[in-house]
Amino acid sequence: MGDNFLKKVYKKDPETIYRLVDDEPVIIPLRSDVDVNDLGAFYILKNKTAAYIWELIDGKRSVEQIIDSVLKKFQVNPEKAKTDVVCFVKELKGIKAIDNI
């Protein structure tokens, strides 16, 4: 994973819906090409880290800064934090829930 990617800043797509459903954080990216069923693409953010990263994607912080914040918030080793954040950001980009600045 190159440094360029770590410097990138992402913002949430305004057409991505974020809600708590039965206390679980859920996102529904309306611009997603994935049309899995009648209810469209429906994604559950599986853990606290995912929900926290989602919160941090604000169009201001770079991927690198998000990794730093995750390291401060959770007790994980730096490599794991980096891998998790990068993978998650790529997943979100893939379903068009976020976009580059």
Partner 1 sequence: MITANLDIDYRKKLILKRPLLTGGIGLTNFCNLDCIHCYIKDDNCNNRHEELNTKEIFNILEQMKDAGVVYLNLSGGEPLFRKDFKDIYLFAKKKNFAIIVMTNATLITKDLIELFKKYPPLMLEISSYGATKDTYESVTRTPGSFVKFNKAIRLLKNSGIKVVLRFITMKNNYKEAAMAEIFAKKMGMRYKCSYNIYLRLDGDKAKNAVIKNQRLNAEETVDLFNIMQEDLNEFYSSKLPECGSVAGCGAASIGCFVDSKGMLMPCYYLAKPSVSLRETNFKKAWKSIALAKSPIIEKQKVCKDCQHMVYCNWCPGISYLETGNTEKKIEYLCGLMDRLAKMKLIGCQ
- Site for partner 1 contains 70 (CB under 8 A): no
Structure tokens at 53: 């990263």
Using only C-alpha atoms, what is the Rg of the chain? 13
- Give the residue carrying structure tokens 């989602």: 54
Task: For residue 95, count other CB atoms closer than 10 A to its CB.
Answer: 18
- Does 46 contact partner 1 by CB under 8 A? yes
Select the residue interacting with partner 1 from 57, 67, 88, 98 (CB under 8 A): 88
Compose the 5-34 pattern: x for residues touching partner 1 by CB under 8 A, - for all others. ----------x-xxxxxx---xxx-xx--x
- On the 0-12 / 13-18 / 19+ scale of CB atoms within 10 A, 37 is exposed
Single-letter amino acid code for the residue at 55? E
Residue selected from 12, 45, 66, 98 as contacting partner 1 according to rule CB under 8 A = 45
Write out the residues near partner 1 by the rule CB under 8 A.
15, 17-22, 26-28, 30-31, 34-37, 39-47, 49-50, 53, 84, 87-88, 91-92, 95
